[in-house]
Chains A and B, each alone.
Chain A
Amino acid sequence: MDNLIDKIKAAGLRGRGGGGFSVYQKWKSVIDTPSDKKYVICNGAEGEPEGFKDGYILDNHLEDVMNGISLAMKEIGAEKAYLYLRKDYYEKYQKAIGSYPIEAPLGLIRKPDIGYIGGEETIICQVIEEQNLFPRKKPPYLSEKGLFGQPTLINNVETFYYVSKISKDEYAGERFYSISGDIDNPGVYELKEDDTIIEVLKHTGNYPDFDFFAQVGGISGEIFLPSEMDKPLDGAGFINVYNSINVDHYSFLERLSQFFHEGNCDKCTPCSGGFYLINEMCKKKQIDFNKLEDILLSLKVSSFCALGKNAYLPFETFINKITKDGKH
C-alpha cells in the first residue's frame, strides 16, 4: 500500500486536537471539494493551562511534523500551508522551521494574545485573514469553505507527526499523553492509544496511592473517578490528577471558571456573561447552585461555538461526582 490516504484510512488515525474526528474522512472531504485553491493549517495553539504535548513534539520531532505538513499539502494539492503557533512555541521554533526545505510556501503565524479561544479552528482562519477575532458559524466546515473561503485542511501538531510516521510505516497506534497534577512523574509520554487511563497512569508510575480524581481530555474534559478510568482516553491527551482530600472545591471551580472567563471571545451571552458570573460566585464562595445549573444548561444548548458548548462538562461532572454534598 503506497497511497498515503489509504494508509491513513487503514491506520484508523483520529485527530489529536481533541475532537477525535477521523483524519481520513477529513482529508477526503478536502480532496473531494473542488477548488483550484486549497490550504493546509497545522494548529499548534495548545491552550491547555496544565501540561503540554505539542510543545514536546515540536521539541523532539519537528522534522516529522514538517514532513507531515508537506505530505498533506501534496496529498490535497494545497497552494500554501500555515503553521499556527502559540507565542512561546513561535519564538522558540521560528528559526528551526525556517530552515526546513518544504516545497510549497509555508506561512508561520503567531497566535494572538486572546487566550484559549485562539486555538479554535475558525478563529485561526480569522487570524490568518486578519479579520475580527470571533469564531465563524459552522457549517460550512473548513474542509468545504475554510481559509479565504477555500477548502482547508486543519490538523494539530500531533496529528501531522503521526501522518509522517504512517507514511514511513512506523505507526503502531500510539498517542501522546501529557500527565500533570498531584503525581510523582509529570511529563509527556508516548503510549498505546487503547491503553486505559489506569494503565497510562500505572505505566508512567503515576497511579496515586490516595483518594483521587482526574480531569481527562484537557480543560474542557470530564472529571473521572478512578472507577471510571478503566477505558481509553477520549479527547485531547491530557490527564490532570487531583488529590481528593486536598482539593478545595471553591478554588477548583474558581480556577476553571476564571480560565474560561478569560479565554472566551465574549461573542455570545451564555459564555461571556456566564463564566464571569460563575467566577464571581466562586470568588465570593456563595454559589447559587440553581443559577449555576441554569448557566450550564444555557452554555450547552445556546452558545455559539464549541468552547461554550463543551465547557459545561467539567463543571457538571465535578459538581455531580466530587461535591456530592455540594449544595451546601
Chain B
Amino acid sequence: MENIRITINGKDIDCFKGETVMEIARKNGIDIPGICYCKDLKPETSCRLCLVEIKGKDGLHTSCDTVAEDGMEVITDSEDISKVRKINLELILSKHSKSCGSCRRVKNCKIVKAIKDCGMLNINPESSDKPIHQFGPAMTFDPNKCINCNNCIQVCNNQGVGYLELKKEDGFSRICPSKTKDCIYCGQCLTHCPSGAFKEVDSLSEVEALLKDKDNHVVFQFSSTLIKSIGKEISPVWNKESIEAFSNFLIHLGAKMVFDTSFGVDMVIRKEIKEVVRGIEEDRCIFTSHCPSWIKYIESYEPEFIPNLSRIRSPHIVSGGVVKDYLIEEQHVDPERLFVISIAPCISKKDEIILEENRIEGVRMVDYVLTTNELHALLKKNKFNIDNYKKGRKDIYIKESHSYDSNEEMIMSGLSTLYKELSGKELNSLEFKRIKGINGAIETSVMIHGRSIRLAIVYGLEGARRILELLKDDPLTYQYLEVMACPGGCLRGGGQLPEVGDMDFSNNIFANFYEDKVLKNNNLFVDDIIGFAEDKDIIFKKDGNKRI
C-alpha cells in the first residue's frame, strides 16, 4: 500500500492511499459524526452528517466516501459544517419516530450519538403511524423509525435475497417487503439499520411468564461462545465464572436446568458422517444444515439443491429434543409443563423451531428462542449483578472442554470425526486456505482411502452463491459445504447486540475466549443423554427438508 500524507485540522497525518477520510480520522482519534456508515457496506452517503471541508473544493464533502489524496487538507469542524450538520440531523429526526424506551438500539444508538455530537437541543420528531410490517414469525419492521439510509436494502441484496424494495408513497421512497420474494430471516437488515426500525419478534414476555409459574419445568440452552457479545454486560471477562454466574441467574429466575448447545453439536457431528457417505454415493456435495437461513435460502431460491441439504436437524433442535425426551421418559416430567428455550444470536431460529420438520408428533423440540438482544433486555430488567450469582453450580451443564469457539472449530471437529470413522486414523492437522476471489470462504481437503474429500466453509450468502455456481458447473467441486448465512457467521448474527460505531468483521474479539481450556470430564448425565439420543428419531428429519 502506498503511503500518503494529508492534514486534518492542520495536523499532518500519514495514511494509505485508498483510505477514506473518515477511516483516517477515526483511526487518529478524530470523531466525525455519521449515522449511515457501516464498515462492511459501500457507503450509502445518505445521512450527510459526516461532512468535512476540503481545501480547494467547493461545498462540503461526505468523509465516509471521500478517498484521501496526497496533500489533501481536510477540516472536520467549522461553523458552516456544524450548521449544516444540525440542519441535516434535524431533517433526519423529522422522519424518525422517537420511541427510545422500547428500542433495542438505545444504548448504542448512532442517532443518539449524533444528537450529542452535533449539540442538538430541541428535537421535535413528527409522529406518524404507518403500519408495522411483520416478517414471518421472526421479525418486524417499523417504517415510522426508518430514516431512509438504504443500508438494509444493500445488505439484503448482498445476501442475494432482495426482499426489501423501495416504493414511492406520497412522494417518499419507503422500504417495503417484496410481495414476490421470501425473507430468510438472517437479520442482517436489523444489524445494519441505524434507526432500530427492525426488531425481532418478542418472545421474552412469554418466557418471563413461563418462568413465573413454578410448576413449569423450564430448560435453557445456549452456546456460550456465540452469545459472547453479551459477556461485557455480565462481567469484564466472559469466562467460566461469568458463564456460571449467568446460568445461576437463569436458575434463580426459575429455570430448572441450563445446558450447553455444544452437546447438540457433538450429537449431530457423529451422525453427519452418514450424510457425507450418502453424498459420496450420490455424487453430491452435502450442505450442513446448521443455519436455518441457509436452508430457507436454498428452499426458496435454489431448490435444485434441496437434495444436497443434510437431513440432520440443527444442533440446538437436537439437544432440545433429546433433553425433552430424556426428562419426560427418565424423570417423568409432565410434557405439558416442559419448555426448552434456546438463547442464540440468531433471528432465524425463531422461525426454525416452529417448522413441522423440527417437531416430533407435532410437539416443538425447542419452544422459544431468545436472541442475545432479548437476553440483554432480561438482564437489564433484573438489574443483573454478577456478584449475586457467583455461588453454586447446580443443574448447570456447561462444557468447558471444547465449546466450539467458532463455526470453523465445529466443522473441523466434524471433519476429524469423519476422518477417523472412515480411515480408522486420527486426523493430525488440517490446513485451511482462503478460496481465491470469494469473500469469507475457506477450504481444505483430506485424503481418505485415496479419495480426496474437499470441504468449504462460507460465511455470508454472497460467497455461498459463488460456491453454488461452482457446484452447478461441477457437482464434485466439494463434498462437504458449511454455509452460515450471516457474513461473519453467527458471531455476526441478526440477534447479536448492535455495537456502536462500526461492526468489526474480523473475528478476533472472539479469540482466546476461554481463559482456561482445562479439560474436565463432563457429567455422566450428559453422556447419558447423548447415548439416549442414539436410537431416537431426534437427529434426522423424518421427511427431509420440506417447509410446510
Contacts and interface: CB of A to CB of B under 8 A. Distances in A.
Contacts of A303: 48
A304 B83 CA distance: 18
Contact of B59 (A115, A137, A265, A300): A300
Given A301-B80, A304-B45, A270 B148 contact: no
A266 B92 contact: no
A301 B60 contact: yes
Contacts of A269: 46-49, 88, 91-92
B188 interface: no
Contact of A266 (B48, B51, B60, B172): B172
A326 B39 CA distance: 46
A294 B87 contact: yes
Interface in A264-312: 265-270, 272-274, 276-277, 279, 294-295, 297-298, 300-304, 309
B255 to A, nearest CB: 47
Nearest to B65: A137
A63 interface: no
Interface string B30-62: 000000000000001111110100000001101
B48 A265 contact: no
B541 interface: no
B150 interface: yes
Contact of B48 (A115, A137, A302): A302
A265 B148 CA distance: 11
A270 B65 contact: no
A265 B92 CA distance: 16
A55 to B, nearest CB: 24
A226 to B, nearest CB: 31
A298 B87 contact: yes
Contacts of B392: none
Given A132-B153, A273-B94, A301-B60, A266 B173 contact: yes
Interface string A117-133: 00000000000000011
B84 interface: yes
Contacts of B51: 302
Contacts of B157: 132
Contacts of B10: none
B166 to A, nearest CB: 8
B95 interface: yes
Contacts of B171: 258, 261-262, 276, 279
A266 B153 contact: no
Interface string A180-215: 000000000000000000000000000000000000
Contacts of B88: 269-270, 273, 298, 302
A302 B46 contact: no
B91 A265 contact: no
Chain A CB within 10 A, most for which of B47, B59, B60, B91: B91
Contacts of A304: 45-46, 48
A270 B48 contact: yes
A277 B46 CA distance: 17
Interface in A235-277: 258, 261-262, 265-270, 272-274, 276-277
Nearest to A265: B173
A279 B44 CA distance: 25
A115 B87 CA distance: 26
Interface in B393-446: none
Contacts of A258: 171
Contacts of A266: 148, 166, 172-173
A298 B88 CA distance: 7
A297 B87 contact: yes
Interface in B266-304: none
Contacts of B87: 270, 294-295, 297-298
Contacts of B84: 297-298, 301-302
A274 B91 contact: yes
- Top 6 A-B pairs, shortest CB-CB distance: A273-B91, A266-B173, A262-B171, A301-B59, A298-B87, A261-B171
16 contacts: A114-B168, A132-B157, A137-B65, A265-B173, A266-B166, A269-B46, A269-B49, A269-B88, A269-B91, A270-B48, A272-B148, A273-B92, A297-B83, A298-B84, A300-B59, A301-B60
Given A132-B157, A304-B45, 18 more contacts: A132-B166, A262-B171, A266-B148, A266-B172, A267-B44, A267-B45, A268-B45, A269-B46, A269-B88, A270-B91, A273-B92, A276-B171, A279-B171, A294-B87, A295-B91, A301-B80, A302-B48, A304-B48
